[in-house]
């Protein structure tokens, strides 16, 4: 069983994925820890699968999961998390916006008692720099204000694609998560709060990478719609009995 599993969801990422795979594999190989890298292809129509297969031929510990048609990032992350074998499970975006070296910050938070450590572009950090496009930063800040007021008080950035989970927490949460697309991060963190898992929000370095697939007109509305679905799912009991390893706390 590897110490670390890195789950990378990918949709039409043949251009941005190779450099991310190279940096992740090089960093983990140098750290001398056992690891696996799982790329989950979300019904790509370009050469994403071929890029991963070619990389895997020359690099150990890389495997490809693939499904079709496109199901959404949340679906892909859930598939990767549930099939990962590591003691720690890292969600890492295909664009490499969060340098893999930031894993050290998240692991420190886990070692200090957190069950989940989430990278944050919004929480101030003396030793971190965030380079984000101004319009995306504005939309992200607005969305996070809404999420904090309705569901996750105190968490300033739910959407950063760099999150580290203890194995048991990941298997538990992703086995009951329902959302396949825009707000799956919010759902998982909301479930974690309900079940009493300890969440640490950690400032990290982050740089916007050219090629984003975010639609700045429709995606924010879709995300807000899915926040409503989280409320509905909880009210209707579709998450099942929310027992956890600790006292269940409904906060925020």
Whether the CB-CB separation of 199 and 157 falls below 8 Å is answered with no
> What is the CB neighbour count within 10 angstroms for residue 205?
18
Percent above pLDDT 70 for the chain:
88
C-alpha 248 chain-centroid distance:
23
Q: Could you report the per-residue pLDDT of 137-188, keeping only the tens digit for each? A: 666 667 788 888 888 999 999 999 999 999 999 999 999 998 998 899 999 9
**For 141-144, which contacts have Cβ atoms below 8 Å and span 24 or more sequence positions?**
142/220, 143/220, 143/223, 143/224
pLDDT above 60: residue 251: no
Q: Could you report the per-residue pLDDT of 50-64, keeping only the tens digit for each? A: 999 999 999 999 999
Q: E-assigned strands of 187-240?
A: 199-203, 206-207
Give me the residue spans of the domains in the chain. Answer: 4-235
CATH topology of domain 4-235: Spore Coat Polysaccharide Biosynthesis Protein SpsA; Chain A (3.90.550)
Q: What per-residue confidence (pLDDT) applies to 144?
A: 81
Confidence bin at 248 (pLDDT 50/70/90): very low
Q: Could you report the per-residue pLDDT of 88-117, keeping only the tens digit for each? A: 999 999 999 999 999 999 999 999 999 999
Whether the CB-CB separation of 24 and 6 falls below 8 Å is answered with yes
Task: Concatenate the DSSP letters of all residues of 67-90 into one string.
Answer: ESS---HHHHHHHHHHH---SEEE
Structure tokens at 222: 């879709």
Confidence bin at 65 (pLDDT 50/70/90): very high
Exposed / middle / buried, residue 236 (Cβ in 10 Å: 0-12, 13-18, 19+): exposed
- Mean local confidence (pLDDT), 112-128: 92
């Amino acid at each position: 069983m590897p110490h670390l599993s890195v789950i990378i969801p990918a949709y039409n990422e043949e251009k941005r994925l190779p450099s991310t795979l190279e940096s992740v594999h090089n960093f983990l190989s140098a750290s001398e820890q056992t690891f696996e890298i799982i790329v989950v292809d979300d019904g790509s129509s370009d050469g994403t699968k071929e890029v991963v297969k070619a990389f895997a031929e020359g690099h150990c510990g890389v495997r490809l999961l693939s499904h079709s048609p496109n199901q959404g990032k949340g679906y892909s992350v859930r598939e990767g998390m549930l099939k990962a074998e590591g003691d720690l499970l890292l969600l890492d975006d295909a664009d490499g916006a969060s340098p893999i070296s930031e894993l050290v910050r998240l692991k420190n938070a886990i070692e200090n008692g957190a069950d989940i450590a989430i990278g944050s572009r919004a929480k101030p950090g003396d030793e971190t720099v965030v380079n984000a496009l101004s319009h995306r930063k504005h939309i992200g800040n607005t969305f996070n204000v809404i999420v904090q007021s309705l569901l996750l008080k105190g968490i300033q950035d739910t959407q950063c694609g760099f999150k580290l989970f203890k194995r048991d927490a990941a298997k538990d949460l992703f086995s009951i998560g329902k959302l396949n697309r825009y707000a799956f991060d919010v759902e998982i963190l909301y479930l974690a709060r309900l079940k009493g898992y300890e969440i640490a929000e950690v400032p990290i370095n982050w740089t916007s990478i050219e090629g984003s697939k975010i639609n700045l007109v429709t995606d924010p509305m879709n995300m807000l719609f899915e926040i409503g679905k989280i409320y509905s799912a909880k009210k209707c009991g579709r998450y099942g009995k929310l027992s956890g390893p600790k006292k269940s706390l409904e906060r925020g």
